[in-house]
Amino acid sequence: MSRTENNMGYWCSAPVTRVPDNIAITDLSQEPPRDVRYRELEDRLNRFASLISAMGLVPGDRMAMAIGNRFEFVEIMYGAMRAGVVPVPLNIKLGADVLDYTIRDAGCKAAFVEPSCNPVIVDVVNRAGLPHRFAFDPVPAGWQSYEPALMDADADFDPPELADDHPSFQPYTSGSTGRPKGVVLTHAGQLWWIRAVQKYWPSTDEDSALAAVPLYHKNAMAGAIKPMLHCGGSVVLLPNFEPRRFLTALSEYRCTHAGSVPAVFTLLLQERDLIESLDFSALKGLKLGSAPVQEELMRAVEEAFQVGVGESYGLTEGGPVMIGTPTDGRKVPFGSCGVAWPEGEIKLIGPDGQEDPHDGELWVRNPGVTPGYYNLPEVNAKRIKDGWLATGDLFHLDAEGFYYFRGRTDDMFNCGGENIYPKEVENLLITHPDVYDASVVAVPHAIKGNVPVAMALLAEGGQATEADLKKYCLENGPAYAHPRRIQVVTEMPLSGVGKVDRNIVQARLKEQFGTVFAEVE
């Protein structure tokens, strides 16, 4: 085996021989937009690998990158992999404390930064005392300018020999339940996943995907960058999400695929006038994922774009995706993420720690699963056993082999002896004609321990009140699960990757309604 075959940094090299002048990336962060063809991308990937090797980084060294959605993100991330250096893509929406912790925990020796992407990132990197610091304009004092340094680097690069279990990159989880955890992902595991996608759900060099969520998140990487650039297709890259620009780009560039988090599609559907005026005939499919998806939203997206819509599921440390569309042509039912992948193993574990045939926590085992969280042996011992990863996600498996996401194990709560899954209450609220989106969380109750409360986003023209929605839930769902209070809003709080931020929802609802309900319900 050649040194490039088991190196994730070369996953997009095959198209250079076959279709070198095809557009790999159209970067809409620039004006006019920048088209990067496979021939140029290959040259820049090699130059980057040469650059970091010449300055003394060696295989296994960690390297921080804080960059927005621009084509250089791809060449920096995968160029580093060619040299065996481990990129650490930072969530640029985070504050100084978490960014500082991440850089220090990973032991980064270099940083590549877009200063405008985060107001504190330059100071954080300076305080960390990293010896190698490169930036896009404006270049901070004492830093090197990225583009001139890249162009001065050698375009010929001979990659080092890497073991299959060599780390490819090290993203950090969101840290919603504490400090973020570094997820080690191997070259062999990542290549297995990409090759499996192409084997069972192939794309062609005529396909293109639109990416608008941050590139540091698996939704954009797994849904667009990796599958498209592996097969010679193209990616249209938006610097950020803005509904009307997203729709215009989807139509203008005749994208065949697009995917994002549910909150993005909720916002898109509010632009009905633009949707009806644009041509989406090139679309082959849309994917919603990275957060719970309500059936009503999927039906509305399908109707608006006149194309098949699927719900995707994955997690960074788990492959990243191990449930998908059946290869036998069966249609995935609404509410399901699909069936188990052909080459991966999954099982459901009940509260008693035993395998359950229908309900439980999802455990996964495949070549793409992380071998462990960085510097966290206690977490590894708890969550990874004999190659099986305990995902923390609850699923139901039906008789036909389809999996249905029910929520996080740490989202479920007990209300007066009844287990409540927030997603099920959210699904009920979404069925009300006046509600576009909803988020349900638990707040303490003097008698019942915890009770559900909700934040509901009304559809355009919606007039429903808190009393209306509460009555609707009582009439159409179990009484014990009805939201005791409902905050009607015109905008949902979103995280940096476009998911509804449940921590902010819970904080706002506690602030408005209090932490203890005195009444007995």
Q: What's the rounded mean pLDDT across residues 316-337?
A: 89
pLDDT above 70 for 519: no
pLDDT above 50 for 177: no
pLDDT tens per residue, range 111-132: 999 999 999 999 999 999 999 9
Helices (H), 201-261: 218-220, 226-231, 243-252
pLDDT tens per residue, range 380-404: 999 999 999 999 888 999 999 999 9
Distance CA(266)–CA(488), nearest Å, equals 16
β-sheet bridge partners, residue 242: none
Question: What is the fold, at CATH topology level, of the domain defined by 413-513?
Answer: GMP Synthetase; Chain A, domain 3 (3.30.300)
pTM metric for this prediction: 0.83
Domain limits, the chain = 413-513
Q: What's the rounded mean pLDDT across residues 169-173?
A: 94
Cβ atoms of 183 and 216 closer than 8 Å: no
Q: What are the residues whose beta carbons fall under 8 Å from the beta carbon of 133, sequence distance 6 or more?
A: 110, 111, 113, 125, 126, 140, 142, 143, 144
Q: What's the rounded mean pLDDT across residues 313-327?
A: 88
Joined tokens for residue 270: 């509010």
For residue 148, is the peptide bond before it cis, meaning its omega torsion is within 30 degrees of 0? no
What angle do helix axes 422-430 and 466-476 make, rounded to 10 degrees? 110
